[in-house]
Every structure is written in C-alpha cells, then in structure tokens.
Amino acid sequence: GNSVTQMEGPVTLSEEAFLTINCTYTATGYPSLFWYVQYPGEGLQLLLKATKADDKGSNKGFEATYRKETTSFHLEKGSVQVSDSAVYFCALSFTGTASKLTFGTGTRLQVTL
C-alpha cells in the first residue's frame, strides 16, 4: 500500500536558520504530494503541493520539489521565523474515486529567538 515517511521530530531551530524536513513516499505510480501545516490550536491547512515529477510547490517562503528518482518531497525554508513553529505533515494521494490522502506522522518544528 501507499505510505509516507517523515523525519522524526521535534526539530528545534533558531530564528533565521535553514530548515529541511525530509519526506519520502512509497506508492505504485505517481501520486500528488502535499505538505500540510498545523499551527498551535488550529486545524490543518494546505501549505503547498506538487502534482507531477520535478514540480516545485512553494508558499510562504517554503518550497518542496517532487523528486521521482528518490521518491522524495523534502520541505525547505531558507530562513525560519518563530511564527513557523507548527507541526508539518507530508501526504500523498492519487486523484480518483478510490483515492484517499495518506499522511506521514508529522514533524513538530519549534523556532526560538
């Protein structure tokens, strides 16, 4: 079956540090890939997505590139802020009636001053 593996958290960084959260997937075929973010006390919301190989999703300074050869979709940001502290979830799906979103376990990011 389909699965998503994320790096263990929590990740603690100082403000303005570079962020990478690793995500790899296992799937038959070429899924769409997503990063969702859950800020403290809030619901999950879509951060960015990519629907085919070599696509780069970007939003709010975050980027992730769909790498078919390494089945990866690592999340990066060049300079994190305290307001980026949240839990980040990588997910995959195949568009279609039989599909559902499959999530990774989530990675908690804590950014300090």
Partner 1 sequence: GAGVSQSPSNKVTEKGKDVELRCDPISGHTALYWYRQSLGQGLEFLIYFQGNSAPDKSGLPSDRFSAERTGGSVSTLTIQRTQQEDSAVYLCASSLVGGSEAFFGQGTRLTVV
Least separation in angstroms between residue 16's CB and partner 1 is 28
Coil, strand, or helix at residue 84? helix
* Closer CB to partner 1, 14 or 96, in the complex: 96
Q: Does 28 bind partner 1 (CB under 8 A)?
A: no
Coil, strand, or helix at residue 83? helix
Q: Does 56 bind partner 1 (CB under 8 A)?
A: no
Q: Does 97 bind partner 1 (CB under 8 A)?
A: yes
Q: Which residues bind partner 1 (CB under 8 A)?
A: 32, 34, 36, 42-46, 49, 89, 93-106
